[in-house]
A and B are shown apart, each in its own frame.
Chain A
Amino acid sequence: MKHMTRKATRHISQNENLIFEKSSPGKAAWRLPPLDVPEVDAAKLLGKQERKDLGDLPEVSEIEIIRHFTRLSTWNYAIDLGMFPLGSCTMKYNPRVNEFVSRIEGLANGHPYQPMKISQGALRIIKTLSECLIEITGMDAITLQPAAGAHGELTGLLMVRAYHESKGNPRKKVLIPDSAHGTNPATAAMVGYAVENLKSNERGMVDVAALAAQMNEDVAALMVTNPNTLGVFEQEIHKIAELMHAKGGLLYMDGANMNALVGKARPGEFGVDVMHLNLHKTFSTPHGGGGPGSGPVAVKKILEPFLPKPTVISKPDGTLAFDYDRPQSVGRVRAFYGNFGMFIRALAYIFANGPDGLRQTTEDAVLNANYIRKGLEGVYDLPYDTPSMHEVVFSDKIQSKKGVRTMDLAKRLIDYGFHPYTTAFPLIVSGALMIEPTESEPKEELDLFIEAMKSMAEEVEEDAQFVLEAPHNTRVSRLDETQAARKPVLRWRPEHP
């Protein structure tokens, strides 16, 4: 390594084949109890529907499985190992008590159709979390049913559509700023709306004059992320809301960046009509290598009749129950009640924080982002000097003069022992480096990160080629994505079928 890093040292890493390559007939990791009812003749019961062969499923022993997955795990980077500054993803600490309480017998084994009488604990969890999230967002009502953020967007826009339909006209389009997440336009299309792009102004915010010009009675809603994907608070949010409302449109807020607001400001108070939250971002439920998420949608009173069913209600005798009698509901967006296991974790997180902890969390998240911004100003180009909230977006303008782009820098950062920031997003910044440290990083880790970023910038000046060939210290070097896409190999097959 050219420059030394204080963060990471190379270490032995075990090799491990695919599990199928370890399989051989007769090995087993399972044992069933003896059958206490008469055996059945599957052929007789099932006839031609009987399956005779399970193909190439593995046969391995328990120790091999433990080693297999443990070895694989060591090839991953994780929050538990260090800072994970993926902008817009909010990779914060995932508290272990969340995992513990979600596995308590009686919660983990609750069947979604068990009688209400013996589901009061689960219903109480849903209701308590709902109340907390309504208070945090300043909205009036909520559904926890959506399984992820994008699913929440879908649910929110379905409600927007149902609302407009109830007024006699579903309207035709949804306005989306050019800085938005890709899920926003993809969702609008799924709900049957045309997408109209909204340009950002020179400060990286919604161009209010452009919005005024584009807003008309065909527009169902504006989907705005606030703070937006540059980490910038939309200071004219109230004017934006007024413009929408004046022409009968609704304001949708993508809550991806709610980690900048919790306990400090409430979207319900600045004109938002409908918003989704990501429990796996703001409320500490684990990302788990890409899910499960959970995407509750909070709404103002005017949208409450359209919430997915069922909702949880209190009965006169004080017990809780599901309410299916909701004639104006958009229907169901998922079987059962949503990712309940994530509700438990999010609520445990809220309990652990309380009002003071949540506020301090938000403050620390913003403090950390600004500390990094200060530390790297001048070293990396800052395309918008508008004040940052919880994340900061640099560009590769300086380094690209040497032919080094944001993705190359990201790969080199891996050698320094950090997970890369988000690359090439938002689209309004050419060669973006989007950095979100979250509140979970101590000052020492931030200093190491700044040091690594500075060191990389020096390497670009000294030996750009070395950076272009990174990563140098991972078990695989840069992978050929073109080949993967051109001739997709999406599963293992035996060599001698």
Chain B
Amino acid sequence: MRYLPKSPADREAMLKAIGVRSMDDLFAPIPAEYRLSGDLNIPRQMAESEIVDWFKLRAKENAEGYTSFLGAGAYFHYRPVIIDALVQRGEFLTSYTPYQAEFAQGTLQAIFEFQTMISELTGMDLANASMYDGSTGAAEAVMMACRITGRSGAVIARSVHPEYREVLSTYATHQGIPVKTIGFAESGRIGAKELQQAVTDQTACVLIQSPNFFGTVEDVEAAAEIAHAKGALLVVSIAEAASLGIIEPPRTADIVSMEAQSFGVPLGFGGPYCGVLATKEKFVRQMPGRLAGQTVDKKGKRGFVLTLATREQHIRREKATSNICTNQALVALMVNIFMTVYGKVGLRELAKQNLAKAAYAADQFGKQAKVLFGGAPRFNEFVVQTSEDPYAINSRLLGHKIVGGLPLERFYPELGHAALWCCTELTTRSMIDTAVGLVAESERAVRSMKEAEEEVTL
């Protein structure tokens, strides 16, 4: 086996040094009846070339060479090539959680920079070293709000990513956290009145997403006022990190839970991604996840360590703030490098391009079909309602190597034939025009079919 650095003679010599006759002796602690005698029934050992071929075939069966208008919590942005060049350095790739700080200053300083940039971007005081992803991060943020307020209810907007809501419901079930869901108004935003009615003095937090699942930017300040008036916290989930380049961050929130996949992390069929929590300074001891902090060594030199570990499971066991034991360090490093590449000016320009592309596309679609939720600003996503079932439209688009918007029927049946479309800086005008043209064709076909039907009935 090519990964194993031993010759048969090495093994013999080592067995002899240990003082056993054979490998079997080393496995004697396992009762004989549980020791496998034969081979596992898995594919035979493959050459590297065979492995590469196998995965290339799988890639061919996937969407290679398609143009996609999918967003919905997973965004296709450009990834500068230096990201992979740097994260594949063995010293990052093959190192461990930096518990032994003196031997892991590289990872620790990178985390410290990551925490700083996330704090700046989200408008919060502090951020942690990352979470599994945006969905689990939002659930952890709600649990954190319960610990801070000593209350147990959560009010959550239906315009939060549906799968995030599902995860929250899984987490909340056994923690005695009743979850109340509130709808969205015609503008696509949460209704202030409905929110006001839902929040009581038992509510630990209100969870909203901005831009929300429909791409609409919420009025965070208004939501914060309503939550705070009842002593509840406001948790804001951000699924599209790129929006922070041009959209005011949720400064009035108490906890921000962000999915940072947009910042240099491959779509990768849904993971690994990079969640992160940011919060106000006064709440940091209730925050789950790892934290890197600055300190000095014995000679007074600046250095970094993992800190506030007394919140964590390896110290507190069943009394810990969370059972979390890893973060997404390498993915957070991708995010870190991406933020460094684009920086203060580039992130704004990048966001502006997203804004422009989506505005153009929504305009064009609006001429052929109905674009919902026009009453509030949006970032790079919008909902298009068509006469025809979007699944049918999409299967025709596939023939042109275009993946259309996400049909919303599964999550929001009340919106009828609606789909969520996304444009990023990588979406070209000609792609948009082609997609709009095809949708227009289908709209016309449905219209003329309806007219024909009407004639027949007449």
B58 pairs with A107, CB closer than 8 A: yes
From B198-206, B330-338, B381-389, B450-458, the one touching the partner chain is B330-338
Question: What chain A residues lie within 8 Å of B85 (beta carbons)?
Answer: 66
* Stretch among B48-56, B144-152, B224-232, B437-445 lining the A interface: B48-56
Nearest CB in chain B: distance from A160 CB, A = 11
- Is A206 an interface residue when CB atoms closer than 8 A count as contact? no
Give 11 new A-B contacts, CB below 8 A, not counting A55-B120, A57-B344. A50-B248, A54-B245, A54-B347, A55-B344, A107-B59, A135-B40, A185-B318, A264-B36, A291-B331, A341-B272, A479-B305
What are 16 A-B interface contacts by the 8 Å CB criterion?
A19-B340, A20-B116, A49-B247, A54-B344, A72-B109, A78-B94, A122-B62, A154-B323, A182-B316, A289-B92, A292-B328, A332-B163, A336-B270, A340-B270, A356-B39, A371-B14
Q: Does A1 interact with chain B (Cβ within 8 Å)? A: no
Given known contacts A149-B325, A188-B318, A367-B23, is B28 in contact with A387 (CB within 8 Å)? yes
List, in ascending order, chain A residues with CB within 8 A of B262's CB: none
Q: Is the C-beta of B271 less than 8 angstroms from some C-beta in chain A?
A: yes
Q: Are B104 and A76 in contact (CB under 8 A)?
A: yes
B29–A93 touching, CB < 8 Å: no
Residues of A within 8 Å of B269, CB to CB, are 107, 110-112, 119, 122, 336-337, 340-341
| CB of A166, distance to nearest CB on chain B (Å) | 14
Other-chain contact of B126, A263, A485, A491 (Cβ < 8 Å): A491
Q: Does A466 contact B (CB under 8 A)?
A: no
> What CA separation (Å) do A79 and B94 show in the bound complex?
5
Q: Is B10 an interface residue (CB 8 A)?
A: yes
Contact: A51 with B170, CB < 8 Å? no
Closest residue to A270 on the B side, CB-wise?
B34
Q: Give B240 Cβ to nearest chain A Cβ, in Å.
A: 14
Interface string of A69-87 (1 = CB under 8 A from B): 1111111111111001010
Contacts of B6 in A (CB 8 A): 364, 442-443
In the complex where A35-B356, A84-B96, A419-B100 touch, is A335 in contact with B73 (Cβ < 8 A)? yes
Query: Are A113 and B10 CB-contacts (below 8 A) given A186-B322, A335-B164, A491-B126?
Result: no
**B244 cross-chain contacts in A, Cβ below 8 A:** 51
Residues of the B chain whose Cβ atoms lie less than 8 Å from the Cβ of A46? 217, 246-248, 355, 377
Q: A151-B136, A290-B326 are in contact. Are A336 and B271 (CB under 8 A)?
A: yes
- Of all chain A residues, the one with the shortest Cβ separation from B138 is A335
How long is the Cα–Cα vector from A57 to B298 in the complex, in angstroms? 31
Q: Are B86 and A371 in contact (CB under 8 A)?
A: no
Nearest CB in chain B: distance from A97 CB, A: 5
Q: CB-CB contacts of A315-348 with B at 8 A, as 1s and 0s?
A: 0000000000000001111111111111010001
Could you tell me if A341 and B266 are in contact, using CB atoms closer than 8 angstroms?
Answer: yes
Contacts of B36 in A (CB 8 A): 263-266, 359
Q: Are B43 and A354 in contact (CB under 8 A)?
A: yes
Residues on B with beta carbons closer than 8 Å to the beta carbon of A338: 270-271
For window 76-92 of B, CB contacts with A under 8 Å fall at 76, 80, 82, 84-92
- Chain B residue with the shortest CB-CB distance to A278: B326
What is the interface size of chain A, counting residues whose CB is below 8 A from a CB of the partner? 198
Decide: B17 and A335 in contact? CB cutoff 8 A.
no
Taking A290-B329, A335-B167, A335-B270 as contacts, is the C-beta distance between A42 and B355 under 8 angstroms? yes
Point out the residues of chain B lying under 8 angstroms from A30, CB to CB.
Answer: 80, 341-343, 346, 349-350
What residues on B are CB-neighbors of A410 within 8 Å?
100
Which A residues lie within 8 Å of B163 (CB)?
332, 335-336
Is B343 a contact partner of A57 (Cβ separation < 8 A)? Answer: yes
Q: Are A475 and B296 in touch, CB under 8 angstroms?
A: no
The residue that B74 contacts in the complex, of A111, A120, A425, with Cβ under 8 A, is A111
In the bound complex, what is the Cα–Cα distance between A61 and B353 (angstroms)? 21
Do the beta carbons of B166 and A291 come within 8 Å of each other?
Answer: no
Q: Tell me the smallest distance from the CB of B66 to a CB of chain A, in Å.
A: 7
Q: Shortest CB–CB separation between residue A126 and chain B, in angstroms?
A: 9
From A59, A120, A286, A492, give the contact of B61 (CB < 8 A): A120
User: CB within 8 Å of A: which of B345-361?
Assistant: 345-350, 352-353, 355-357, 359-360
> Which residues of A sit under 8 angstroms from B42, Cβ to Cβ?
131-132, 135-136, 350, 354-355, 358
Name B110-127 residues within 8 Å CB distance of A.
110, 112-113, 115-117, 119-121, 125-127
Contact A56 B116 (CB under 8 A): yes
Interface: A109 (CB within 8 A): yes
8 A-B pairs with least C-beta separation: A336-B270, A288-B330, A354-B45, A80-B90, A106-B59, A112-B270, A121-B58, A121-B61
Contacting chain B: which of A230-238, A393-401, A454-462? A230-238
Q: How far is the CB of B201 from chain A (nearest CB, A)?
A: 25
| Residue of A48, A94, A287 with highest tally of chain B CB at under 10 A | A287
A29 sits at the interface (CB 8 A): yes
Cα–Cα distance between A422 and B68 once the two chains are bound (Å) = 46
- Whole-angstrom CA separation of A217 from B303 in the bound complex: 52
Determine if B215 is an interface residue (Cβ-Cβ < 8 Å).
no
The complex places the Cα of A161 from the Cα of B69 at a distance, in Å, of 40
Check A289 against B292 for contact (C-beta < 8 Å): no
Q: Which residues of A contact B290 (CB under 8 A)?
A: 290
Residues of chain B contacted by A59 (CB below 8 angstroms): 343-345
- The residue from A18, A54, A147, A488 contacting B136, defined by CB atoms under 8 A apart: A147
Q: How far is the CB of A310 from chain B (nearest CB, A)?
A: 10
Complex: A122 Cα to B55 Cα, angstroms: 10
Is B425 part of the contact surface with A, judged by Cβ < 8 Å?
yes
Are the C-beta atoms of A483 and B110 separated by less than 8 Å? no
Residue pair B340, A115 in contact (C-beta under 8 Å): no
Does residue B72 face the partner (Cβ distance < 8 Å to A)?
Answer: yes
A180 nearest CB neighbor, chain B only = B317
CB of A489 closer than 8 Å to a CB of B: yes
- With contacts A354-B43, A360-B4, A367-B15 taken as known, whether A28 is within 8 angstroms of B343 at the C-beta atoms is yes
Q: Which of B162-177 contact A (CB under 8 A)?
A: 163-164, 166-167, 169-171, 173-176
Choose one: A48, A101, A364; the contact of B4 (CB below 8 Å).
A364
Q: A59-B345, A112-B267, A334-B133 are in contact. Are A104 and B55 (CB under 8 A)?
A: yes
Q: Does B102 have its Cβ within 8 Å of any Cβ on chain A? A: yes
Contact status B268-A117, CB under 8 Å: no
Whether a CB of chain A sits under 8 angstroms from the CB of B297 is yes
Residue of A16, A54, A147, A148 ringed by the most chain B CB atoms within 10 A:
A54
CA distance A363 to B1 in the complex (A): 12
Check: B406 CB closer than 8 A to any chain A CB: yes
A280 to B84, CA, bound (A): 19
A331 touches B105 (CB 8 A): no
Contact B110 A352 (CB under 8 A): no
Contacts of B447 in A (CB 8 A): none
Interface residues of A in 122-151 (CB under 8 A from B): 122, 124-125, 131-132, 135-136, 147-151
| Cβ proximity bits A443-483 to B, threshold 8 Å, 1 near / 0 not | 10000000000000000000000000101001111111101
**Which residue of chain A has its CB nearest to the CB of B161?**
A335
Q: Are B403 and A114 in contact (CB under 8 A)?
A: yes
Instruction: Report yes or no: B268 in contact with A28, Cβ–Cβ below 8 A.
Output: no
Query: In the complex, what distance in Å separates the CA atom of A341 from the CA atom of B270?
Result: 8
- How far apart are B364's CB and chain A's nearest CB, in angstroms? 9
Within 8 A of A (CB), among B296-326: 296-299, 301, 303-305, 307-310, 312-320, 322-326
Q: Decide if A177 is an interface residue (CB 8 Å cutoff).
A: no
Residue from B30, B36, B87, B425 whose CB has the most chain A CB atoms within 10 Å:
B30
Question: Which of B48, B217, B270, B298: most chain A Cβ within 10 A?
Answer: B270
Q: Does A298 contact B (CB under 8 A)?
A: no
* Identity of the chain A residue whose Cβ is nearest the Cβ of B53 in the assembled complex: A101
Using CB atoms, name the residue of chain B closest to A422: B99
- The smallest beta-carbon distance between A236 and chain B, in angstroms, is 9
Q: How far is the CB of B336 from chain A (nearest CB, A)?
A: 8
Q: Is A403 an interface residue (CB 8 A)?
A: no
Q: Determine whether the beta carbon of A66 is less than 8 Å from that of B86.
A: yes
Nearest Cβ on chain A to B164's Cβ, whole angstroms: 6
Contact A484 B305 (CB under 8 A): yes
Pick the contact of A492: B116, B312, B313, B395 (CB < 8 A).
Answer: B116
Smallest CB separation, A253 vs chain B (Å): 13
* B93: interface (CB < 8 Å): yes
